[in-house]
Structure 1
């Protein structure tokens, strides 16, 4: 019999909808502009409330239009009556309390969190933390009645002291769920404070650049620079905070390898300062604007390319909607910039650094060579981030299909054919 021809690869449907996310971003920015006009001295509060509006709009779209809560991946069962168990919910709340206690203990232990830098986060926590704690028991009660597998990471972790008191040890599956639970919360505990502070800084930077527009100079570029990062960080804060099964935006699993964690965390403060200052400093004070000061046409084109790269970077985060997060799997994004590349944010960010810092322009050829080598090493770190992400996301068959589709249809598919080392290779377990 003749062989049945293989079905052509198709791009999987994205877990979030890029078009609507963009509309929500526009609404959030419009609200933010109004807040900055009426209350310009509260950029941190303004940024967070704009983020809440964006999250509300996307959440309503997810629930009523996409009906994400009915996705099989949500783990919720809608075909039977809800049957929450009070004892189980109480154990989960104990698990939540223990988890928050560990994170609070880490904040108290590490001096990094004792300075003034994180004060905006502590203020936000006082405002939003109490309502979330009040809502938690009701959400856990509702969720427990719908979960197909209600003995989740919260339950496994919450019963751990009881097991120890009885001289028992958790099963291998229980340990796996606990480790995944704690890893997911470690990601939130590290990134939520950082992104909360950064979003307020970028809102303030965009506002100041806007006020400086009549004076010309770099103000337009500075405004667009801060605006793109404001958009990026609004969706970062939303993503790290909204890990809810209600929207199928929960953490499926966290990065399982030490290498994956290392190359991700070293790209963020406080670790990046150490890496950059002591090992990989690629800037020497000469920036693109100074270099092209006498060439207005070239300067305009350079700025246009830079803003385009930064826009791609911001839109890559917008594409995630409620699901943005480093080091975790929360659904596969396949539209927006991810229609053209598996790693549009990394590509655009790394290219922008070359254009902003111009490491190849220096006081001497030796310094230029050193700067370029250092930036290439940082690019290499992002290449490792991309590879470790691909490896752990490949546990999801949807991601494997998407990555194989990008191999053939992505923007750099031709380059991948010439350099096979750049092409995605599925795990052997998938091939077999």
Structure 2
């Protein structure tokens, strides 16, 4: 419950996720990475010299994700007892008999299985899912489908017995398919928004897990402390691994007993366009070609190569930005995902700006790419690159505004957080004052049309 001071807006609203969940995941992940790097030495101590290498393979990366997610889920249940939160929609004290809910569960299972079948079909149609990094994701998801179908039966029956309203989004889609009971088309739309998000982003996140993990585990640390470029790159990789590993957990652990279920997907078409433009396959054409901002550029290490003090300063600055980006992900604990509402986060970096990941990510791109410096000496290249990276930043601003519109629509607490940040956020309040000065007639409200 929020205090009277919070309700009046004089205090920052309490976060729906404590910082400890993400920190438990972070500690677990770092411990496993240390184990994976040290495995040859550990094996030698156990009497198996020269028989094992570092655990840097893709399945080791998946194991790291499983252990990280399990630790966060266990902490959430055992310590924070999130399964008792009213927002789960569960009443553990009133279990219905199976005979009372079995028809509901069958309808829901029909909806779920049909959803998975359709998503699998869409994977088959997308050629990009069957080449390159996506092949590993297809292998993992293909291996998971049979256990998922089998385990969904006892899980759905179990959860329907204690849900206050077991006729959820999945049930409405199942009812539409079966055609025997009244269904709400708006609930069906909510069901598909959530599952399109899970299907699209889960495949993408799983596909990139092994890449950064292998780079971190296999990295040669010899002499790295004296080289700002190598040290910086290794720390970038490590922080991106933290972001990807914990972010993937968020897409997979969308369970009500963890209070991590997707309460709604973004209903605004503009939000979907802005978000999907930043990820494959659309990003390959949009960000990779149409508005490519790194033509004939080098990077920070090239331009500062003759100035060692600047190399160290710039490496530290870029590591700081990447750390903010990773922090913005693990602050969600097990609730991270794009285009969704799963509660309101007000702690960690979200205490300073409403969009710390977007701010830090875009500053990183500007600072590392330096699009206004080109190796070709062409003024046209300088202008083009600078304009295009500004367009990319504009896309992220667009994403931020549509996400705010979604959350303002869903939760009064977010309105309290939004208003508090307008007046008190270290970054947000200053930007808000600047925007009000630039356009005093423009109100704070956000308008958008839901996607159909």
What is the TM-score with the length of structure 1 in the denominator?
A: 0.91
What is the CA–CA distance in structure 2 between the aligned matches of 1:302 and 1:91, rounded to whole Å?
57
Determine the structure 2 residue equivalent to 1:351.
Answer: 363
Regions of 4+ moved over 4 Å: 211-217, 421-424
Determine the structure 2 residue equivalent to 1:252.
Answer: 263
Determine the structure 1 residue equivalent to 2:435.
Answer: 419
Contact 2:12/2:417, CA 8 A, preserved across alignment: yes
SS of the residue corresponding to residue 366 of structure 2 reads helix
SS of the residue corresponding to residue 148 of structure 2 reads helix
Determine the structure 1 residue equivalent to 2:89.
Answer: 75
Determine the structure 1 residue equivalent to 2:251.
Answer: 240
Determine the structure 2 residue equivalent to 1:193.
Answer: 203
What is the CA–CA distance in structure 2 between the aligned matches of 1:99 and 1:229, rounded to whole Å?
31
In structure 2, the CA distance between the partners of 1:213 and 1:22, relative to structure 1 (3 Å rule), is farther
Q: Write out aligned runs for 1:32-431 (5 A).
A: 32-38=33-39, 40=54, 42-84=56-98, 85-163=101-179, 171=183, 174-211=184-221, 213=223, 217=227, 218-283=229-294, 284-362=296-374, 363-394=377-408, 395-412=410-427, 413-420=429-436, 425-426=444-445
Which whole-Å deviations, capped at 9, do the CAs of 1:95-124 have from their partners, x for residues lacking one?
A: 111000000110111212122422211332
SS of the residue corresponding to residue 419 of structure 1 reads helix
How far apart are residue 253 of structure 1 and its match? 0.7
SS of the residue corresponding to residue 159 of structure 1 reads helix
What is the CA–CA distance in structure 2 between the aligned matches of 1:278 and 1:214, rounded to whole Å?
34
Larger mean Cα displacement after TM superposition, 59-68 or 334-343: 59-68
What is the TM-score with the length of structure 2 in the denominator?
A: 0.87
What is the CA–CA distance in structure 2 between the aligned matches of 1:209 and 1:291, rounded to whole Å?
25
Contact 1:25/1:231, CA 8 A, preserved across alignment: yes
What is the CA–CA distance in structure 2 between the aligned matches of 1:213 and 1:426, rounded to whole Å?
53
Contact 2:197/2:339, CA 8 A, preserved across alignment: yes
How far apart are residue 426 of structure 1 and its match? 4.7
In structure 2, the CA distance between the partners of 1:222 and 1:208, relative to structure 1 (3 Å rule), is farther
Which whole-Å deviations, capped at 9, do the CAs of 1:3-32 have from their partners, x for residues lacking one?
A: xx9934322221212234223212222113
In structure 2, the CA distance between the partners of 1:153 and 1:405, relative to structure 1 (3 Å rule), is same
Q: Which runs of 5+ in 2 are unaligned?
A: 40-52, 448-452
Larger mean Cα displacement after TM superposition, 324-333 or 207-216: 207-216
Q: CA RMSD in A?
A: 2.3
